[in-house]
Amino acid sequence: MPTLKDIADLVGVSISTASRVVRNDTSRHINPETRAKVWEAVRQLDYTPNESARHLVNKQKTEKRQTKQIGCIIQTARLNDDHPYYSPIITAFTKKILESGYSLAFIHTSGELEDNALLHRCIHDIQVDGIIIVGEVGPTILDYLQKVEDLALIGICTNGTEITMVDYDRIHAAKSAVDHLIAQGHRSIGFVGGPGHTGELNSEERFQGYKFALYDAGIPLHKDWVIDTRWEIDRSYEYVKEQLKRSDGERPTAIFAASDQLAIPAMRAVIESQLRIPEDIAFISMDNIDFAQYTTPPLSSVHVPKVEIGMTAAATLLEMLRGEQLALSKVLLPHKIIVRESSTFNRN
């Protein structure tokens, strides 16, 4: 059986340091990199701290004991209780699992869990039965989770292929939004969005849907009006305003934004440039967050069924935990366009 000395020798630290990491002793500072290396050595050597713990591990390998706890990993850099997109999903998911006797043990952002030591503690110390992943996470996190034995995984709008998924068809939804603009007579349509899971704009499905709509209608794509904000709200405002100053009158008659949160600052940039919405530049976007109906003018948007996505993900995960859902699946929920004043000016 491996010992603490084996761990310490492999990492190149003292036995006391290795012991503090394994015991989660925070009385003395140990840098995160060292902690991550110790936990990696723990996994590599299959180390278990003592005989009773070893017995428990062996027992768990033959008899799965449910803790009735679920963890959540979410893409956003900052998770607020009132996040307009993620909060309705998480609220619906949590309500459904609570009704079945489960609890939400933790919510961490993907950025926080790039710390391997924290990721290890969340999975193994808390001993969750399942994880819900909301949005795209790094491949290191996804690979780690998929290797954990008896851990049920479900994704919402995430980037894994070997994981059961609940989502909506982003490509078709985006194409539908741009088709609406085209039906209003627009032939010069800009895009405001951000990159997909590869870090490149071309991997973003909403951008792909935008391009498909233009291609099907025989409308050229003007690269000057493809604005990559890296999903930052401030950049949407700044880049659109700057592009309007440089455009010399050659501006689009409509803009498709990949999210309402990017559309709203872009609309402000247009209004501050003494242009009218929708007469000069029309807008449509995605998500249909609550605030979209209160912009001036009200923002047209593709309604994403956020509550239904959260509830469906919870129901599917509970089936997996009961052993009723074994095969990988992908559930796509329907979207619909909510037309408001920002896109109703007809140019035909």
Domain containing 152 — which CATH number? 3.40.50.2300
Average pLDDT of the chain to the nearest whole number: 87
Say what the pLDDT of residue 27 is.
57
Please check whether residues 174 and 295 belong to one and the same domain. yes
Range of the domain at 25: 4-46
Of 21-30, 156-165, 203-212, where does mean pLDDT reach its minimum? 21-30
Whether 51 is in a domain gets the answer no
Please check whether residues 18 and 110 belong to one and the same domain. no
- pLDDT tens for 32-56 read 678 778 878 887 887 766 544 544 4
Whether 53 is in a domain gets the answer no
Whether 265 is in a domain gets the answer yes
Q: By three-state DSSP, how is residue 110 classified? A: coil
The stretch 163-192 carries a mean pLDDT of: 96
Kind of pairing between the strands at 330-333 and 164-168:
parallel
In contact, 165 and 330? CB cutoff 8 Å: yes
Say what the pLDDT of residue 246 is.
87
Beta strands in 75-169 (DSSP E): 103-109, 130-134, 152-156, 164-168
Q: Which of 162, 140, 143, 69 is nearest to 107 (CA)?
A: 69
Say what the pLDDT of residue 117 is.
83
Backbone φ, ψ for residue 310 (5° rounding):
-60, -45
Please check whether residues 212 and 124 belong to one and the same domain. no
pLDDT category at 208 given cuts 50, 70, 90 is very high
Please check whether residues 133 and 208 belong to one and the same domain. no
Please check whether residues 298 and 176 belong to one and the same domain. yes
In contact, 209 and 181? CB cutoff 8 Å: no
pLDDT category at 61 given cuts 50, 70, 90 is very low
In contact, 164 and 154? CB cutoff 8 Å: yes
Say what the pLDDT of residue 119 is.
86
pLDDT at 160 over 70: no
Whether 18 is in a domain gets the answer yes
Say what the pLDDT of residue 52 is.
45
Q: By three-state DSSP, how is residue 119 classified? A: helix
Whether 41 is in a domain gets the answer yes
**Cα–Cα distance for residue pair 75/259, rounded to 1 Å:** 15
**Cα–Cα distance for residue pair 237/2, rounded to 1 Å:** 57
The stretch 84-106 carries a mean pLDDT of: 93
**Cα–Cα distance for residue pair 270/273, rounded to 1 Å:** 5
Please check whether residues 318 and 261 belong to one and the same domain. no
Q: Which of 277, 214, 231, 229 is nearest to 251 (CA)?
A: 277
Whether 56 is in a domain gets the answer no
Please check whether residues 106 and 178 belong to one and the same domain. no
Prior bond of 297 cis (ω within 30°) = yes
Please check whether residues 292 and 321 belong to one and the same domain. no
Say what the pLDDT of residue 57 is.
46
> Higher-confidence residue: 19 or 24?
19
Whether 61 is in a domain gets the answer no
Please check whether residues 183 and 298 belong to one and the same domain. yes
Prior bond of 278 cis (ω within 30°) = yes
In contact, 156 and 133? CB cutoff 8 Å: yes
Please check whether residues 200 and 277 belong to one and the same domain. yes
Please check whether residues 36 and 74 belong to one and the same domain. no
Number of domains in the chain: 3
Please check whether residues 296 and 322 belong to one and the same domain. no
Whether 55 is in a domain gets the answer no
Say what the pLDDT of residue 267 is.
98
Report yes or no on whether pTM surpasses 0.75. Answer: yes
